[in-house]
Amino acid sequence: MNALRTLFPVVTVIAVILGIWIAAVVPMNIHLTADQAARQDIAVTPDTPAERKELSGLSLALQNTGIWGMTYTLERPRLPSPHQVGAELWDTVVMKNPTSRRSLVYHAWVTLSATLLGFAIGTTLGILLAVGIVYNRTMDKSVMPWAITSQTIPILALAPMVIVMMGSIGIQGLLPKSIISAYLSFFPVVVGMVKGLRSPDGMQLDLLRTYNANAGQGFWKLRLPASMPYLFASLKIGISAALVGAIVGELPTGARAGFGARMLVGDQYGQPIVTWAALFGAAITAALLVAILSLIERRTLRRMGMAGAAA
Amino acid sequence: MTQDPVISARALDLTFQTNDGPVHALRDVNLDIQKGDFVSFIGPSGCGKTTFLRCIAGLETPTAGQITVNGMSPDEARRARAYGYVFQAAGLYPWRTIGGNIRLPLEIMGFSKAEQRDRVARVLDLVELSGFDKKFPWQLSGGMQQRASIARALAFDADILLMDEPFGALDEIVRDHLNEQLLALWGRTEKTIGFVTHSIPEAVYLSTKIVVMSPRPGRISDVIESPLPRERPLDIRDSPEFIEIAHRVRDGLRAGHQDDAA
């Protein structure tokens, strides 16, 4: 019963999204379909391509209800239908050998490895910066504005420079992408950890003073454990940002592997189904990463006795 | 004088610099507290009773005058861990069990593991929380949490216990019970206790010495040595002596307020 109650809203939302998607396929693809139908001597109104071009997708679709079925099976549709994307995913994830370049699992691993390395770098950097900001007045005043500024620069503008510059000093492959991942993922960790490390109130800090505790004890026994809920919230934002960073890092140099490469290939060779499958692959990967973090969060906080307090 | 006072304040002044100008939190406070005294500080908000307690603890620094704790400056006394401090809220760490919370000062002060275990068991027994050491704070009622925080302050055997309205947030019934327990605990441990409160009955019931304070600037308006015996059943609160002291406290508080109006 409980599972059903949580399942119902999820299923409803998915059904609505699928409904909109399926409905959109017809007007999005109707021009291509009409051209194809005309070539196969199927009657289309209006019958010249020039006239059809004048019409919007919706009105053309309403005049040619007979060819709706064909819009779902185009080889190179403008908008692939759900079952086409599903079939592509099935084919590239399940049917292909995961070590083959045709397998999406292979590409997922290329992106994922850069994501995880970048996430580790970003999280470490974020925590260290947060500790510096909390304990050092100069860093408090100077680091935060730069951290905020860093996030206002469009990553799409920055990514090619990082890749090219690192390439010019001979660093290629995993690390440049990871740097971009780290660049995106350190920020939420800094913000969350600064807030978390500062979350103990005056009374709790005074209590440690009455024990004549030193700064290290204050950090390990009070500030760090108090910051855990904040850290996990940040990590969940950070890991999805890291994945985006790795994909963006694959785009500008025409990388030959990874989700970014698949999206690029689909775009350049007019295979939108490939692009869409890569998009979904990336989304599913991100969801899995966040789910794993949520699981670790629940376990950690329960072990720390904080899950009950939150419930 | 048979003994040097444990806590001694002479012409103590404390002025806070705020954005709205200086605030005289304490002015010309003179007080001696002897070993084994149970001293209550009572007065309206802003009379400096908490500030004075924090001066004793070395958490605030007076701007003028002298204060000694065990013959040392409050800061030296703090470093020597001369006192346990109980705050208004229990302030237990939610990620530590009750036992873990009481162990906190012991870990910081470097007691051995075996010693920690013994002491936790002993103070839990003292506040009647034996068997709760594995529970987390959220599993306990407010009164039990506050008892755990008292146990935490007792764990390292400081001779002085400073309590800042520890029962202020609790209901009357729980409060009565905890007052009784606190007196019993004081009787057994012979600690010197400084106790801040808003409640006249609580102050009179607990104290050997009641310090009545008045606000703006915070100062002592009356010091009452209680004639009540050290053994005090709850129904002592109906005795004529008790009521007489309560009257004197109330008069002291009212006098402070009249000054304020003038």
Residue B205: inside a domain: yes
Residue B259: the pLDDT is 54
Residue range B133-153: average pLDDT? 90
Residue A307: the pLDDT is 57
- B169 — contact with chain A (CB < 8 Å)? no
**pLDDT of B257 above 80:** no
Residue B2: inside a domain: no
More confident residue, A194 or B221: A194
Spell out which residues of chain B touch residue A221, defining contact as CB-CB under 8 Å: 104, 107-108
Identify which of B88, B105, B139 has the shortest CB distance to residue A211. B105
Q: Chain A: give the shortest CA distance to residue B60, in Å.
A: 10
Residue B102: inside a domain: no
Residue contacts between A and B (CB atoms, under 8 Å):
61
Which residues, at least 6 apart from A245, have a Cβ–Cβ distance to it below 8 Å? Answer: A115, A118, A155, A159, A177, A180, A181, A182, A183, A184, A185
Dihedral angle computed from the Cα positions of residues A90, A93, A97 and A98, in that order, rounded to the nearest 10 degrees: -170
* CB within 8 Å: B78 and A210: yes
Q: Where are the domains of chain A?
A: 2-79, 104-310
pLDDT tens digits, residue range A23-58?
999 999 999 898 888 888 888 888 888 888 888 888
Assigned CATH class of A104-310: mainly alpha
Residue B228: the pLDDT is 83
* CB within 8 Å: A204 and B107: no
Report the domain count for chain B.
1
Residue B124: inside a domain: no
Q: How far is CA B257 from CA B113, B214, B221, in A?
A: 52, 7, 11
Under DSSP, is residue A291 helix (H, G, I), strand (E, B) or coil? helix
Q: Chain B: give the shortest CA distance to residue A204, in Å.
A: 7
* CB within 8 Å: A221 and B57: no
Residue range A189-216: average pLDDT? 92
What is the CATH classification number for the domain harbouring B208? Answer: 3.40.50.300
pLDDT tens digits, residue range A78-114?
899 999 999 999 998 888 888 888 889 999 999 999 9
Residue B13: inside a domain: yes
For B70, the domain range is 7-82+158-261
Spell out which residues of chain A touch residue B95, defining contact as CB-CB under 8 Å: 225-226, 228, 304-306
* CB within 8 Å: B108 and A306: no
Predicted complex ipTM = 0.87
More confident residue, A306 or B165: B165
In this structure, what are the phi and psi dihedrals at residue B90, rounded to the nearest 5 degrees? Answer: -60, -40
Residue B177: inside a domain: yes
**pLDDT of A255 above 80:** no
Contact B253, B214 (CB under 8 A): yes
